Amino acid sequence: MFPSTCAVCVSLLLPAAVLAQYNLVKEYSGETFFDGWSFYGNRDNLTNGNVNFLDDTDAFHNNLAFVNDAGNAIMKVDNSSTLKFNQNRNSIRISSSDQFTVGSVWVADILHVPYGCSVWGAFWSSAPAWPLGGEIDTFEAVNQDARGHMGLHTNPGCTHSSNAVQSSTLINSTDCSIQANSNQGCIITNPDPASYGEAFAKAGGGVYVTEFAIDGISIWFFNRTDLPSSLQGNVSSIDTSTLGIPVANWPADDCSVNEFFQPQELVFDITLCGDYAGAASVFYQTCTGVCYNDWVLGDPSNYDTAYFEVSYVRVYGQPGELTVIQPSGGPRSAEVRSFGTLMLALGSLFAMFWTL
Ligand SMILES: *[C@@H]1O[C@H](CO)[C@@H](O)[C@H](O)[C@H]1NC(C)=O
Ligand SMILES: *[C@@H]1O[C@H](CO)[C@@H](O)[C@H](O)[C@H]1NC(C)=O
Ligand SMILES: *[C@@H]1O[C@H](CO)[C@@H](O)[C@H](O)[C@H]1NC(C)=O
Ligand SMILES: *[C@@H]1O[C@H](CO)[C@@H](O)[C@H](O)[C@H]1NC(C)=O
Ligand SMILES: *[C@@H]1O[C@H](CO)[C@@H](O)[C@H](O)[C@H]1NC(C)=O
C-alpha cells in the first residue's frame, strides 16, 4: 500500500513548471524612446559595413534618430548626402544601457524595417562579452530578401533541437556556434510573406515577442491583422503560454540557456554591405552591381526605405526576480544633468549669501 502522501512523490518527480507570466519592467516609447540607449558613435568596425554609426548628438542633429509626429521612433540611414569614394554613409546603432536576464521577455511593435539593396538591418540582443553570453536575433534581413529571419549565435555546443515546438518549417541551419559555417548561426526563416520589405510596411508591420527563458528561447511574430488582444494596448503583463506556438523555438535540451547565455542588451542597427549583406554569395542572390560603388556611393534615394519605425519596445520580467541589470558606470545622463542643475542652484544661492 502506498502512503497517501505519495501524490507529493509524483509531483516531486515532475519538472518544475516554468512560469510564463511576466510583468512590465521597462518601456521605450514615445518622446522618451531614446532615453536609456547608447549610440555607438564610431564607424562599423564590428561587421565591416560602409557606415558611420553616429553618436547621439550627431544622430539627433542630422535627424537620423527622432520621434515622428505619430510618436514612433525613427532610426534611419542618411538618404540625402552624396558621398565621395572612400566615404561611409551615416547610420544608427543603439544598444540598451540596461541588460535583461534569463526570465525576461521583450516585445517590439515595429511598423517599418529597413530594406533595399546593400541594407542590413536587425533588432537583436547580445551579452556585452560576446560571443560569451550569446546573441539572440529577433529580426534580421538583408538586401531584397523575401522574408526576415531569426537566429542564435553562441560559443560552440549549442544547437537547434529537433524537439523544438515552432510553426516555421524553414530551418536554414542548426549549429548556433560562431565557429560553424562562418558564424551563420542557427537560423530560422519567418514564413510570413509580410515579414520584411515593402510587404511588411504595407501590412502595417507587426509585433515580435522574444522569450528568454531557462527552458529555451522562443520568438513569436504577429502581423497587424493577426495581433492577439493580449498584445493590444498598454499591456502591463503578458503570459506567453497564451500566445500559441512560437514561430521559432530553441529548447534548452540542445542549448542550455544558463550555459550559453548571459544578460542581454537590446540592439537596433542598420549597416550597409559588410560581412553579411555585402558578401558576394548573399548580395547577388537578390541584387546586382557592386554593393559599395553602386549602392552606398550611388543615388542617396537608394536609402529612402532604409529605416526602422518603432512604436515601442517593452521588456517584461518574472515577478519577484531582479531581471533588469543596470551596469555600473555612474548615474545616467539625465540624473547627471539634474545633479548639475542642483549644484548650480546651490552655487548661486551660496554666491547670493556671499554678496549679502
Ligand atoms: C571599434 O572602434 C572603437 C573606437 O576606436 C574601439 O574602442 C573598439 O575597440 C573597436 N572595436 C573593434 C571590435 O575593433
Ligand atoms: C533560408 O531558407 C529559406 C527557405 O529555403 C530561403 O528562402 C532563405 O533564403 C534562406 N535564408 C538564409 C538566410 O539562408
Ligand atoms: C498575417 O498572419 C496570418 C497568420 O499567420 C497569415 O495567414 C496572413 O497571411 C498574414 N498576412 C500577411 C499580409 O502576411
Ligand atoms: C504604459 O503603462 C506604464 C505603466 O504600467 C507606463 O509607465 C507607460 O507610460 C504607459 N505607456 C503608455 C504609452 O501609455
Ligand atoms: C528620405 O527618406 C524619407 C523616408 O524615409 C523621405 O521622407 C525623404 O523624402 C527621403 N529623401 C530625403 C532627401 O530626405
- How remote is the CA of residue 224 from the centroid of ligand 3, in Å? 9
| 140 in active site | yes
Q: Which residues line ligand 3 (CB under 6 A)?
A: 192-194, 203, 223, 225-226
Q: Which of 31-45, 86-100, 143-157, 326-340 has the lowest mean pLDDT?
A: 326-340
Check residue 353 and give its pLDDT.
Answer: 37
190-217 confidence digits (pLDDT tens):
999 999 999 999 999 999 999 999 999 9
327-340 confidence digits (pLDDT tens):
865 434 333 333 33
- How remote is the CA of residue 156 from the centroid of ligand 1, in Å? 25
Nearest atom in ligand 2 to 173's CA? 14
Check residue 142 and give its pLDDT.
Answer: 98
Percent of the chain with pLDDT over 90: 85
Q: Which of 7-16, 300-309, 345-354 has the lowest mean pLDDT?
A: 345-354
Full-model pTM = 0.88
Check residue 30 and give its pLDDT.
Answer: 97
Check residue 327 and give its pLDDT.
Answer: 84
Please report which ligand is nearest the Cα atom of 40: 1
CATH number of the domain located at residue range(s) 21-347 in this protein? 2.60.120.200
71-98 confidence digits (pLDDT tens):
999 999 999 999 999 999 999 999 999 9
Sketch the domain layout of the chain as residue ranges.
Answer: 21-347
Of residues 74 and 342, more confidence is placed in 74
Check residue 281 and give its pLDDT.
Answer: 95
pLDDT for 165 beyond 70: yes
Check residue 9 and give its pLDDT.
Answer: 40
Rounded mean pLDDT, 98-105: 98
Write the secondary structure of the chain as one string of H (helix), E (strand) and C (coil).
CCCCCHHHHHHHHCCCCCCCEEEEEEEEEHHHCCCCEEECCEECCCCCCCEEECCHHHHHHCCCEEECCCCCEEEECCCCCCCCCCCCEEECEEEECCEECCCEEEEEEEEECCCCCCEEEEEEEECCCCCCCCEEEEEEEECCCCCCEEEEEECCCCECCCCCCCCCCCECCCECECCCCCCCCEEEECCCCCCCHHHHHHCCCEEEEEEEECCEEEEEEEEHHHCCHHHCCCCCEEEHHHCCCCCEEEECCCCCHHHHCCCEEEEEEEEECHHHHCCHHHHHHHCCCCHHHHHHCCCHHHHCCCEEEEEEEEEEECCCCCCEECCCCCCCHHHHHHHHHHHHHHHHHHHHHHHC
pLDDT band at 17 (very low <50, low <70, confident <90, very high): low
Q: Ligand 5 pocket: which of 304, 305, 309, 310 to mutate (most atoms <8 Å of CB)?
A: 304
Q: What is the mean pLDDT of the chain?
A: 89
275-317 confidence digits (pLDDT tens):
999 999 999 999 999 999 999 999 999 999 999 999 999 999 9
pLDDT for 261 beyond 90: yes
Check residue 234 and give its pLDDT.
Answer: 87
